[in-house]
Chains A and B, each alone.
Chain A
């Protein structure tokens, strides 16, 4: 076995240029795999982080009718038993914040331009404890009173407004009446969550209460926890069970669109592995076919001298596996360089992605993540795949009789 291994390795050095080019093609395949995988892993981690920090918190309590008609945002579906719920949350030592989420149009009072948004009535003090939005506010702070509005930099550009300008917020009240009021832009924000940047604006909860004629009601309570959201959600649901219509939704349930993408990503990873396998298969099959063909006479000689078919196949497997291992390691190095670069400097895709909504809650500067599991998997996968692929040309060569292989190579008789 040791001898066959040594021979397989020496055969790798027989055609150095070909070996290098094959390894390079495998390395590129592995590098592409690591590049996409690292970026998707980062996007996944960053999306979950950005969902919790800026959009969904760990979970939200609300009226089940409100959640069911989320696109419509029925502000009349308010939370009942708010005091009891808040008592339960306080007893559990959880950070929470009340919200009024509503649909509204923002209108530039000068140009008349109007766009639909989600409005959020927030209580600045508790909001800071649950969300990180306040850290992403520049030139001002979270709206705390009166008719102040916090919009994103995107929205400001879209509506061609700036700090100090006024926007008309037009919406329907809890009772279904039409209402509008002017709000002064007191601050701008820019989060790493593009969905929040594109779709949300914030006013104080008091201002929202007046605008929507909520009569002191709220539509949501956002909760922050370091525990597993699903477990805590079950516990809270149990405790608030007797409050009619109130339910708890975890961040995963709230961001169903993202969870669907996440599910698709799993299929994407399998697809990438399949693509890598095809690259390996084509590269190795071509090289090994040539090697087997060129060494027909040599293989015949080895068989004549008493090498069994199993040993011949093993010899090619070691050679091919060696190619796979070298290509895999080269790919690992290239992939590690690319991953390191992306982690350090990122890849600004804003020119390509722009304002397109692609589901991931990440900014247009793509980064990467070290995924050591995938790195090891990629090298093992490349080595095993390469070894496996060499079996076919070797078996094909062994179908010919020894006399025939020696004769065709012009070496015997």
Chain B
């Protein structure tokens, strides 16, 4: 079933008198449960496409639908609530909140959704165990290794049972062994929970794990 569909999607950034065409008519379809990679050199438009799919930004022209809903028609508040409920993000540098423990970082999206404390406790402990962080719930990010921090970030992205997880260079700050473990973990979660994963990366290892590669160059899909 089709989850994301874009048609002639373009995005132009204007800075003073300079016009930058980041995306030039991207037409793309992503199915539910995919484990795909968007790849391409720097400046190819990966991040821009990610921002539009994740409703962090709106397109200059073209259409983008998510589960049949036209994202370009959502106002700011609606986009925020859409992200809150449906999208999980995994960032390149983990982006954990340093003053919160691993437990609290993972619980963060559930707090935004207004889930009860009891439910949060149950879900967070279970997921932290699933990503291999049992016993580290009360540790703050500074007391965790890079791989452990990224596991927390993955758990945080998955805790609300999102429809889509957007992971930007999730292995960039990890050694290859740890990066491999993180990819295995995400692949396992994709298989078990049927969550759609979309990556933006240069990392060949991430590409190896993916089932589909979407190549971007100069704002256009080339492959």
Contact = CB atoms under 8 A, between A and B. Distances in A.
A182 to B, nearest CB: 84
Contacts of A238: none
A249 interface: no
Interface stretch (A7-15, A32-40, A384-392): A7-15
A306 interface: yes
Given A10-B100, A14-B99, A304 B200 contact: no
B209 interface: no
Interface stretch (B80-88, B125-133, B174-182, B185-193): B80-88
Given A301-B89, A306-B80, A11 B112 contact: no
Given A403-B51, A407-B47, A413-B46, A305 B109 contact: yes
Contacts of B95: 297-298, 301, 411-412
Contact of B54 (A3, A13, A304, A410): A304
Given A7-B100, A10-B99, A14-B99, A305 B108 contact: yes
Contact of A401 (B46, B47, B57, B80): B57
B110 to A, nearest CB: 9
A363 to B, nearest CB: 53
Contacts of A402: 51, 56-57
B80 A308 contact: yes
A311 interface: yes
Interface in B98-124: 98-100, 108-109, 111-112
A199 to B, nearest CB: 65
Contacts of B57: 401-403
A408 to B, nearest CB: 13
Interface footprint category on A: 20 to 34
Interface string A294-330: 0001100101111111010000000000000000000
B160 to A, nearest CB: 9
Interface residues of B, number: 32
Contacts of A309: 76, 80
B89 A413 contact: no
Contacts, number: 78
B92 A412 contact: yes
Contacts of B80: 303, 306-309
Contacts of A7: 97, 99-100
A152 to B, nearest CB: 65
A308 B47 contact: no
Contacts of A411: 91-93, 95
B100 A3 contact: no
Contacts of A11: 99
A413 B47 CA distance: 5
A201 to B, nearest CB: 72
A341 B99 CA distance: 40
Given A403-B57, A407-B47, A413 B200 contact: yes
B91 to A, nearest CB: 5
Contact of B77 (A308, A401, A407): A308
Nearest to B86: A306
Nearest to A14: B99
Contacts of B108: 305
A402 B98 CA distance: 20
B112 A305 contact: yes
Contacts of A14: 98-99
Contacts of A412: 47, 50, 89, 91-92, 95, 168
A411 to B, nearest CB: 5
A326 B116 CA distance: 30
Interface in A257-314: 297-298, 301, 303-309, 311
28 contacts: A7-B99, A7-B100, A10-B99, A10-B100, A298-B95, A301-B95, A305-B83, A305-B108, A305-B112, A306-B85, A306-B87, A307-B80, A307-B84, A308-B77, A309-B76, A311-B112, A401-B57, A402-B57, A403-B51, A406-B91, A407-B47, A411-B92, A412-B50, A412-B91, A413-B46, A413-B92, A413-B168, A413-B200
Given A7-B99, A402-B51, A402-B56, 7 more contacts: A301-B95, A304-B83, A305-B84, A403-B48, A403-B57, A412-B92, A413-B168
Interface of A: 3, 7, 10-11, 13-14, 297-298, 301, 303-309, 311, 401-403, 406-407, 410-413
For the complex of A and B, the 8 pairs showing the least CB-CB separation, nearest first, are: A306-B84, A413-B47, A3-B111, A10-B99, A301-B95, A306-B83, A403-B51, A402-B56
